[in-house]
Amino acid sequence: MSSIKEHDYLKVCAQLASCLSISISAAKKKVDLAAASQGAKDISSRKSIATKILEEARKNALVEATNTTNRLDSLLEALAEEENFMVED
């Protein structure tokens, strides 16, 4: 039964790693550090901590994606004096 719980824990860590664009071992270390600071030692509490970190990372990624999209849109707008500018070879 512990292998199923560990599999679920690793799955959450993999999702966290994907969301943060880091390796799975770095995501596990991030969860381990948070668990150590809270005194959590069993897999189920580590999984809940990993889930909380994942939810937080997804919220931050959503906000950053919105900001990045708005920033890119503003950078791609042509200025009035540059609308007809062409670069020759």
CA distance linking residue 38 with residue 6, whole number of Å: 19
Which tokens in the block code for residue 18? Answer: 């994907």
For residue 1, the model assigns a pLDDT of 45
pLDDT in tens, the chain (89 residues): 456 678 999 999 999 999 888 999 999 999 999 999 999 889 889 999 999 999 999 998 888 877 777 777 777 776 666 666 666 65
Distances (CA, A) of 89 to 82, 83, 86: 18, 19, 10
User: Residue 10 in contact with residue 50, Cβ under 8 Å?
Assistant: no
Which bin fits 49, alpha (ψ -120 to 50), beta or left (φ > 0)?
A: alpha
Which tokens in the block code for residue 42? Answer: 């069993």
For residue 68, the model assigns a pLDDT of 74
